Structure 1
Amino acid sequence: MNFSPTDWQRSIYAKGFAGIRPATKIDFPKLEALAGAHINQQAFAYIAGGAGNESTVRANREAFEKCKIVPRMLCDVGVCDTQVDLFGQKLPSPFLLAPVGVLKMANPEADVAVARAAAACGVPYIFSNQASYPMEACAEVMGDSPRWFQLYWSKSNELVASFIHRAEQCGCSAIAVTLDTPLLGWRPRDLDLAYLPFLEGKGIAQYTSDPVFQKMMDEPDQLSVANSGVNIKTIRGLISIINNYPGKGFLKKLKSGRPISAVRKFVSTYTNPRTTWGDLKFLRAQTKLPIVLKGILHPDDARRALDAGMDGIYVSNHGGRQVDGSISSFEALPPIVDAVGGKVPVILDSGVRGGADAFKALALGAKAVCIGRPYVYGL
């Protein structure tokens, strides 16, 4: 099914005649405020927050706002075709759903709910590496609808290869490799609350469902964990860890020790700060699927990606969550498009809020755009 914004607009007004308003807000600031009022403080801080003083989060929006559209008149718009072709797939619009982790913080159905909605609208969904449900569960509800997989480069190449193989088996049509998170960003909102969801076993479903990771859990790790004592908060955290671990039987999982082992192993291995350009050879050897590098902001890096045989460039600053004071994705786009020279598609995220932003990005050479926070708030 292909989603039609025009039909949806008409439907809203038609229902309004009967006194029925949309179930959620259309305006992004109102949607964000509504989400903030409905989810807990820790979850909202994690989703909405950015690195440092959040100057990059603001820069992403300011860059789009500074760029203005000059409308042209008397053009036949009786039939509007928003389709784009991406890696041989015809998509109904230039929008994709960006990978966002730990979605259970926003909705119990999390990634599965997003997958179901994406399939209903014909919008590609990029499965998050830090999902609340395994990629297989999302693929099951999507039918033949397009999906990609986002990959974080773990310290274990065997685990990386396993994730890629599973993505292939799930019908993913591309791999988006996130490069901008060799280390966790400095995010004051999370630090003020001393909250990282992964420590409660949230957002690690791709790992706990993976056979390679299950074997890794049997290996000793060198992770040192500070002993903060036992209190109500630590007990609640332990309960969360056990509940988020797959399988039935709370006491059985508790006695096994596997849930806690999973969190410890995840924390010690989920990113590899020593990854370099030379490692892309390993990645290229693992799959024939298109590989898109996510987090590119410099034209020289785009050129190196082409030299390494990559198939696409994903211009992104992680929604302002990794580097404070970074260039906005939109400002980085034109020189990257020039550097690529049409050899591979360029897509963009960070700050995209609607059709006007997509129009601006496409006018400057992007093939498609991805949205993240807006759909999360919609959950």
Structure 2
Amino acid sequence: MSEKQQLLSPLNYIPADIQSAQDYEYLARRFIAAPNYEYIAGGSGRDQTLASNLAAFNKWAVCPRILCDVTKGHTGFNLLNREYAHPIFLAPVAYQKLAHPLGEIESARAAEAMQSCFISSTLATQSLETIAATGAEAKWFQLYFQPKLEATLDLVRRAETAGYSALVVTVDASIRMPSLGALRAQFKMPDECVAVNVQHYEINPSAEIAANESRIFQGAMREAPTWADLEWLISETNLPVIVKGVLHPVDALKLKNVGAAGIVVSNHGGRSLDGAPASLDCLAAIRAAVGDDYPVLFDSGIRSGLDIFKAIALGADAVLIGRLQVYALSVAGALGVAHMLRLLREELELCMAQTGCATLDDIRNTRLQSA
């Protein structure tokens, strides 16, 4: 985009050239400032894992089936003793005012309109209480451990009071390398993008590091959560605790054994360790490790209903939509996010119909083919 081109304000209608959910990604550059777009679109480091996430879906093919009666088909399912109309949830995405003046409020409204579950980020630009007040019935709160446990516990109590029905605890993002694309674009967080949920908590001053100590191991990782912290958290709340950021089957099984209510197989869309495997490549082994009945959610790289079908076939109960959520938000606010969700659901249903799958259980029993 040239310097002379001006960004469009969010529309109050759906652009005619949106024909698929992924079209929002292509259109978003016209609505998001270039440095902000690079921050949203980028992963970490050289974006190797981000690219792997997208490529992983192309390793699998879906075989059509013929003469199947799917006229009673549906996408409903039960998760954590709650019925959902479809398995497409909105991932916890921080700083959504980068894409829209109202940020997370608009995304939560879209989730409610489309019978989705909205997962609110600790680093949201609207408070967790304000988001809850939008009326979204199905809502979870994503939690980052804070430097002080009393601040972490206060966030939990606030989420409980506001009516969130689950906690999604991110455990693998204590440190990461920023995207080189965002650095080259000279991205700087705008003044209006404030993590309001945590702005009033006291932050521990940075500890002194001795000359022979590492600024990584003894510095940045000094306050990273541990297994003991997670077990403490599970003991402190009656809400189900779902752990996000799981890629290894051994970790998944240990989480199940310590009382986590479920997991999210995720590398955060390539925003954590650059060089980590694609989330999709880890999914089947994790499902095999934890068994058929343990809740396993998935994110990282989904751009279509076909992608959702493949994730469910490989073991996911539901999927979380991250970047597409923000792209649609930038284009048309709540209307755009709701439309994106509708398109994804219809794309999923189309794939189900063509493969003879009337339910999500049918998808789980589908064997994908190597492409």
TM-score bracket for the superposition, by shorter chain length: 0.7 to 0.9
**Contact 1:181/1:271, CA 8 A, preserved across alignment:** no
Deviation at 1:317, TM superposition (A): 0.3
SS at match of 1:207: coil
Deviation at 1:353, TM superposition (A): 1.5
Residue equivalent to 1:171: 163
Which residue identity is paired with 1:324?
D
CA separation of 1:169 and 1:26: change in aligned 2, threshold 3 A: farther
Please say if 1:46 is aligned against 2:39. yes
Deviation at 1:197, TM superposition (A): 1.8
CA separation of 1:270 and 1:35: change in aligned 2, threshold 3 A: farther
Unaligned segments of structure 2, at least 5 residues: 1-12, 209-218, 330-371
Residue equivalent to 1:339: 289
Residue equivalent to 2:81: 88
1:188 to 160, 180, 183: 180
Show CA shifts across 1:42-81 (max 9, x none). Answer: 2101100111221111111111111111111111121321
SS at match of 1:163: helix
Deviation at 1:223, TM superposition (A): 8.5
How does 1:1-379 map onto structure 2 within 5 Å?
22=15, 25-28=18-21, 30-143=23-136, 145-197=137-189, 200=191, 202-208=193-199, 213=201, 216=202, 221-222=205-206, 273-379=223-329
Which residue identity is paired with 2:126?
Y
Residue correspondences, number: 307
Question: Of Structure 1 and Structure 2, which has the larger fraction of its residues in helix?
Answer: 1
In 1, Cα distance between the equivalents of 2:39 and 2:163?
A: 30
SS at match of 1:303: helix
CA separation of 1:335 and 1:36: change in aligned 2, threshold 3 A: same
Deviation at 1:28, TM superposition (A): 5.0
Give the TM-score normalised by the residue count of structure 1. Answer: 0.76
Residue equivalent to 2:9: none
Residue equivalent to 2:362: none
In 1, Cα distance between the equivalents of 2:26 and 2:304?
A: 17
**Contact 1:60/1:328, CA 8 A, preserved across alignment:** yes
Residue equivalent to 2:360: none
**Contact 1:311/1:345, CA 8 A, preserved across alignment:** yes
Higher Cα Rg, which structure? 1
Residue equivalent to 2:337: none
**Contact 1:182/1:272, CA 8 A, preserved across alignment:** no
Deviation at 1:168, TM superposition (A): 0.9
Aligned-residue CA RMSD in angstroms? Answer: 2.3
Give the TM-score normalised by the residue count of structure 2. Answer: 0.78
Which residue identity is paired with 2:249?
P
In 1, Cα distance between the equivalents of 2:70 and 2:293?
A: 30
Structure with the larger RCO, 1 or 2 (CA within 8 Å, 6+ apart): 2
Which residue identity is paired with 1:98?
A
In 1, Cα distance between the equivalents of 2:174 and 2:304?
A: 30
CA separation of 1:84 and 1:377: change in aligned 2, threshold 3 A: same
Which residue identity is paired with 1:317?
N
CA separation of 1:169 and 1:272: change in aligned 2, threshold 3 A: farther
**Contact 2:176/2:271, CA 8 A, preserved across alignment:** no
Which residue identity is paired with 1:282?
W
In 2, Cα distance between the equivalents of 1:134 and 1:272?
A: 27
**Contact 2:308/2:319, CA 8 A, preserved across alignment:** yes
In 1, Cα distance between the equivalents of 2:297 and 2:240?
A: 13
In 1, Cα distance between the equivalents of 2:171 and 2:222?
A: 10
Show CA shifts across 1:160-203 (max 9, x none). Answer: 101111111121111111112111333112222343427x4624
Deviation at 1:136, TM superposition (A): 0.9
CA separation of 1:303 and 1:30: change in aligned 2, threshold 3 A: same
